[in-house]
Structures are given as C-alpha cells and as structure tokens.
Chains A and B, each alone.
Chain A
Amino acid sequence: MEEEARLDRAFAALSDPTRRAILRRLSAGPATVNELRAGAALSQPAISKHLKILERAGLVEQGRAAQFRPRRLRRDGLGPAARWVKEMGRLWDGSFDRLEAYLGVIGVEETKGEDRGDPPKRETER
C-alpha cells in the first residue's frame, strides 16, 4: 500500500507542466531555487511547493552545496523501466509512421486494382 502511494505521488508529480519544465531544466544540470525561478517566472513559494512535490515523489533531490542546496535529478528515479518505455515509443511510433508512408505506396496500387475490377493481386486476401 505504501509503495502504491509512492507511485501515485511520482505520477501525480509528472502530470503537471510546470514540474515537467523543472525536470527538463534539471536534466541539463543541478539548479538552485533562484535559478529555477528565473527560468519559470514563478514566485519562490510556488517553486518551492513544486520542488517539494518532486522530492516527495523521489524524482528530485537536494545537493549539499552550502546554503543554496541546488536541486538535481535522482538517477534512480525511473531507471530501466523508463528506458523500456523510451525504446517502445521509438519502435512503435517509428513503425506506425513508416507503415503510414508505406500504405501510401501500396494503397495506390490496391485502389487502382479495385477500380479496374481486377482480381486481388495476392491469394492471401481474406
């Protein structure tokens, strides 16, 4: 149950565009609250609130550089499952794009055949 609550927090954290923007910024390197504020045009309390949500979700952690405590991404936050999702997206988004393009070629032939009342070109037509 506790694990479930943690997962809910992680995905709730990712569902907000401002927090995704913060993650995107942190993916380029650690940043302090002030640096994040400058990029996001938000008040300091607002940024702190978003950071707290990201930290509770286990996606961001605080560094120890003196009083500025820059925030950074946690490397173990999503891990291999994230790579899996990325690979799947690359495979199937790419495949569907290619399929669409390929149908453009094949589809023309098929339509021509049907217009002329030709029999199907392949016996495997079901």
Chain B
Amino acid sequence: MSAVEAAGDMPVFRIERRFAAKPSLMWRMWTEPEHVMNWFGPKGSTNVLIEHDFRVGGHWQGRTESPGMPPMFGLFVFRAIEPEIYLEWLHGFGDGAGRFVPAPFGPDIPAFITRVWFLPDGDGVTVRLTWTPHEPSAAEIEAFRKMTPGMTGGWTGSFDALDAYLAGL
C-alpha cells in the first residue's frame, strides 16, 4: 500500500507492508550490503555497491542499473540508526564520486529524507517507509504543493489517477 499525504505544507510519500520475518532479520536485510544489494531498486534492476559506511553521518553510494535506462547513482547519508527499530537517511542522487547532483527525473526535485520504521507485527514485521523533501527551495515547494491534498487529511488512490494522467503527458 502506498499513498501521498500532507505534513505541514509538504507532501509525504508513504508505503507500508507486512513481511513474514522477524524485526531482527528485517533489519539485516536493510543494513547489510550483501542483502540490500539483492532487493533494493525497481523491478529488473541490479545494484553495484560503491561505498557503505554504516554510521550516522556515513555515506552509502551505489549504482542502480535498469534495462534500457541510463545508470543512476544513489548517494545516501545516514542520519539516524536505531537497530531493529528505525532508520533514517538523506536520499539523494550522486555522480558516483561522492557529490550530490540533481535528480535525473526532473528539475525542482530536491533530495529527500527517507524514514523507515520496523514495527513488530505478530510473528512478522511491518515496514513503514516515508519520503519527504529535504530543505526544498521555493520552486521545489511550489512543485510539490501541486501534489498535496491540503492540510485536511490523507488521500489514497494516487497512482491510479497519476498513471492515467502521466500517460497523457
């Protein structure tokens, strides 16, 4: 399940799913490079790890390759690490050499704060992930405001309508 919601005047992208795994195992899936590399990225993509400095302030750099698309270099900076409970990083796009570059899918797109909660759920774990723009400029705020449902509450069903909408662009 995923949705776009509002927090203050900023949109929040949220996705949540329950997995049949203990929180301890799920934590390792997210924090040990040999595991992360096996699932992170859109369907059909592969990852090459460049740097994995797993501590607050440390960098993660990787190259994600998808068929028919130019490779994308991810550059993350870990901001909070609470084993088996919570993970937070600044999620940006890099040049493969440790420097941030604008997102490849459009202007007015800033870096994002990714927050991940690992919530015990019976004999499994529910992973809740949110993305919010990081220190957006005025132009970026304006771009994102077009997505927010105002201050009054959440809105689901976004992808249905967006897919239809984007198909016409």
Residues on A lying within 8 angstroms of B by beta carbon are 3-4, 7-8, 10-11, 14-15, 20, 23-24, 26-28, 59, 73, 75, 77-103, 106-107, 110, 122, 124-126
Contacts and interface: CB of A to CB of B under 8 A. Distances in A.
Nearest to B29: A99
B150 A4 contact: yes
B18 to A, nearest CB: 10
Interface in B31-47: 32, 35, 38-43, 45
B164 A84 contact: no
Contact of A84 (B17, B25, B83, B106): B106
Contacts of B24: 125-126
Given A7-B149, A27-B168, A91-B41, 7 more contacts: A15-B157, A23-B164, A28-B168, A81-B147, A86-B162, A98-B39, A99-B19
A20 B164 CA distance: 8
B162 A8 contact: no
A91 B42 contact: yes
Given A15-B157, A97-B43, A7 B105 contact: no
A98 B29 CA distance: 11
Given A85-B162, A89-B2, A98-B39, A80 B150 contact: no
Interface of B: 2, 4, 11, 13, 15, 17, 19-21, 24-25, 27-29, 32, 35, 38-43, 45, 83-84, 103, 105-109, 127, 129, 131, 143-152, 155, 157-169
Contacts of B19: 99-100, 103
Contacts of A26: 168
Nearest to B104: A87
Contacts of A15: 155, 157
Given A83-B166, A86-B166, A98-B38, A11 B25 contact: no
Contacts of A8: 149-150, 152
